[in-house]
Structures are given as structure tokens and as C-alpha cells.
């Protein structure tokens, strides 16, 4: 009996410390963080219609992130804050187009907040849809210019794309009726930068995309002439490079003057009524375009300081005196030829003129 009691006491002395260690936990694994995380790096801000997407790199040791923002710049932690949680991207929506938004990010863990990151900014813009007219020289082979033949126009936002790549869009332009073969198509595309390829296909035998690609590389690729217009307009095809860039609007340049509109008042609206409509919205006429008394006459106006483009458009559209209103769009030269014999190329209006030096 005494022997059993000694064994029980010995068992408790050996096992109890282990039980206490397990129940209390290992101190080496439960120590709290003693250092706040580093500031987030590589911030970027990408604008879209009424929103901005802010992104940054993952910070080691961070549990969550807070995005601070304002519309004046020099963002601090006292400015408006949005909790991004553990995510490294935030979509800030419901914004005013034409207004610039500034952002900085702070990383947070149990030890505190990081220093504030560098600042980025972006300006949301109203998405503009443009008409892109793609034209090419007709293939002379009979099989293409017959029922069942035609062309496929491939386009992508990636330069040097292959027609079998993921994300490449295609438009079929079939041969319909003699005597003329199709040599153009029009596409409605949002603001962006696009690349095009045209492939002819035969009515004689079915072709897979790979066969079409191989034959087009040998015989059917046609040089493109890309023209970006606001209205439908087709011009004769000109010979450019095999792959031609079509810039609807560059993402780094504004598509319209942010504080101007073009307004056409209805026929019969007196000058005094026009002035009242402008004054009611705080706008000022800076140019009258067109001949006096002619129906095509319209006004170029300047918006009051700080007024959002979308807000002004809606206000003028609701005005019973206004017949038409639109932003004052900007247009840019897409390319400058560097070929000294450019003016002599076949298919152009040959005036034997020299290319201007740029």
C-alpha cells in the first residue's frame, strides 16, 4: 500500500510540470509583435468612369490597411479614411468625373501603424465610345470574293498579338454580293488603345484558325489604314505597316477640356434667354462658333470653377432652351510618317507634295 502511494507521488512530480506547460502555452510562440509594419510601397491609382482603383504591394507583418484620400493633395492620416482590411487593392467608387483624387496607404498590425506611404493620384473620366473605321485593300483571289468567303478583323489591346491568343476579339466581314468585295468595317470601342489584324478566308474549303493564320502570313495579310472618327466616315485604304495602332484616346491625355462645353440653343431662343440660361448655371460664353443668324451656330462655354462635367451636362440637357450639348473633345495626331517617299505611295491622293518636317 505504501509502495503504491510512493509511485503515485512520483508520477505527479514527473507529469504535473508537463501538464502546466501545455495548459499555459509556450511563451516563445505567443509573444506579441513589437514593431509596426513598414510603409506600403509601389502604390498605383487607375482611373475609370466614376471610380479609382488603388493598389499596393503586400507588407510583411501587416494585418490590415487603411487608405487615406482627399481632392487637394498632400494627404495625411487626418484625411478621410477607408478600411481595406487585409486586401492590397481598393476600388473607390461613386466619384465625380473630372475631379482629381489623391491617395496614401497605412499598414497596421497589433504593434501599431506604419509610416504613411508615398502619394498617388488619378482623375476619373466619363467613358467615351468612339467609332473606329478599319479599312484594307481587297484580296484579288476569286475564292475570297465569293459567297462563303470574306475577311475576319481581329483586334486586341496588346501589341504583337496572335489571333489565337486569349482575349482577342474578332469581327466577321463576309462577302455579300458582287461586284465589290468588303474592304472596311466600323467598330464601336470605348476609350483605349487597340491593335488590328485582318485575315482573308476562302469560300472553297473550310479552314481552322491555325490554317487561316498560316496562309494569311504567306498571302493574305493586308496592310491597314486606321482612322478614328466621331461620326461614320470611310476613306480609301492607304498602305501602312502590317500591324497598325489605333489610339482612340491615350490614357495619359484627357479626352476633353474638363471645364468647357459646346452648347447649341434651340432656334428662336433670344440672346437674352441664352445669357440667362448660362448665368443660371454660373457658366460664361467664351466663343460663338458659326455665322450670325445661321442654324449651325453654337456657343463654347466655360464652366464655373469646381463644377463637375457630368453635373453640367445633365443640367444643360434639362434646360428647355438647349437643343444640344456635349463636352469640348480633344483630338490628337496619331502618327507622323517618317517615309520620305510617303507622298508617292499608291492609293493616296497623289499631289507630289513633300512631307512636313516634325
Q: CA 53, CA 107: separation in Å to the nearest integer?
A: 18
Question: What's this model's pTM, rounded to 2 decimal places?
Answer: 0.38
* pLDDT at position 25: 47
Helix (H, G, I), strand (E, B) or coil at 80: strand
Handedness of CA 344, 345, 348, 354 (dihedral sign): negative
Per-position pLDDT tens, the chain of length 358: 555 555 555 555 555 555 555 444 444 444 566 899 999 999 999 988 899 999 999 999 999 999 999 999 999 999 999 999 999 999 999 999 999 999 999 999 999 999 999 999 999 988 778 888 999 887 777 667 677 788 899 999 888 899 888 889 999 988 877 667 788 899 988 877 889 999 888 866 444 444 444 444 434 444 343 433 333 333 333 333 334 444 444 445 677 788 888 888 888 888 888 888 888 888 888 887 765 555 557 788 888 888 888 888 888 888 888 887 888 877 655 555 666 665 555 554 545 555 554 4
Q: What residue ranges do the domains of the chain occupy?
A: 44-122, 129-251, 256-329
In DSSP notation, 130-164 reads EEEEEEEPPP--TTTSSTT-EEEEEEESSTT--TT
Closest CA to 104 of 37, 41, 36, 35: 41
Q: What are phi and psi of 43, to 5 degrees?
A: -70, 150
Domain 129-251, architecture per CATH:
Sandwich (2.60)
* pLDDT at position 95: 95
* pLDDT at position 224: 42
Q: CA 287, CA 269: separation in Å to the nearest integer?
A: 18
Are 44-122 and 256-329 in the same CATH fold?
no
CATH class of 44-122: mainly beta
Domain 256-329, architecture per CATH:
2-Layer Sandwich (3.30)
DSSP state of 217: I
CA angle 271, 275, 276 (to 5 degrees): 120
* pLDDT at position 247: 42
C-beta separation of 55 from 117 below 8 A: no
Amino acid at each position: 500500500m505504501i509502495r503504491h502511494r510512493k509511485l503515485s507521488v512520483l508520477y505527479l512530480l514527473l507529469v504535473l510540470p508537463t501538464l502546466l506547460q501545455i495548459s499555459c502555452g509556450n511563451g516563445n510562440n505567443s509573444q506579441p509583435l513589437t514593431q509596426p509594419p513598414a510603409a506600403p510601397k509601389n502604390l498605383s491609382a487607375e482611373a475609370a468612369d466614376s471610380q479609382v482603383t488603388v493598389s499596393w504591394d503586400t507588407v510583411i507583418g501587416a494585418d490590415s490597411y487603411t487608405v487615406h484620400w482627399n481632392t487637394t493633395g498632400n494627404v495625411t492620416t487626418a484625411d478621410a479614411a477607408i478600411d481595406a482590411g487585409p486586401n492590397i487593392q481598393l476600388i473607390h467608387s461613386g466619384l465625380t468625373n473630372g475631379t482629381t483624387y489623391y491617395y496614401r496607404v497605412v499598414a497596421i498590425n497589433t504593434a501599431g501603424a506604419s509610416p504613411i506611404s508615398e502619394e498617388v493620384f488619378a482623375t476619373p473620366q466619363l467613358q467615351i465610345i468612339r467609332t473606329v473605321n478599319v479599312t484594307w485593300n481587297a484580296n484579288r483571289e476569286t475564292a475570297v470574293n465569293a459567297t462563303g468567303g470574306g475577311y475576319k478583323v481581329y483586334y486586341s489591346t496588346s501589341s504583337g498579338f496572335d489571333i489565337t491568343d486569349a482575349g482577342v476579339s474578332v469581327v466577321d466581314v463576309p462577302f455579300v454580293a458582287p461586284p465589290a468585295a468588303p474592304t472596311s468595317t466600323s467598330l464601336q470601342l470605348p476609350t483605349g488603345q487597340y491593335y488590328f489584324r485582318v485575315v482573308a478566308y476562302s469560300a472553297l474549303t473550310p479552314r481552322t484558325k491555325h490554317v487561316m493564320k498560316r496562309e494569311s502570313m504567306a498571302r493574305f495579310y493586308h496592310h491597314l489604314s486606321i482612322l478614328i472618327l466621331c461620326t461614320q466616315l470611310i476613306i480609301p485604304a492607304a498602305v501602312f505597316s502590317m500591324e497598325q495602332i489605333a489610339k482612340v484616346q491615350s490614357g495619359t491625355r484627357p479626352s476633353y477640356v474638363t471645364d468647357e462645353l459646346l452648347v447649341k440653343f434651340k432656334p428662336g431662343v433670344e440672346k437674352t434667354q441664352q445669357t440667362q440660361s448660362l448665368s443660371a448655371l454660373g457658366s460664361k460664353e467664351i466663343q460663338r462658333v458659326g455665322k450670325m443668324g445661321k442654324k449651325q451656330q453654337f456657343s463654347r462655354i466655360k464652366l464655373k470653377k469646381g463644377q463637375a462635367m457630368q453635373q453640367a451636362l445633365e443640367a444643360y440637357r434639362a434646360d428647355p432652351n438647349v437643343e444640344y450639348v456635349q463636352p469640348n473633345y480633344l483630338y490628337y495626331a496619331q502618327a507622323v510618317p517618317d517615309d520620305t517617299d510617303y507622298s508617292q505611295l499608291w492609293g493616296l491622293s497623289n499631289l507630289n507634295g513633300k512631307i512636313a518636317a516634325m
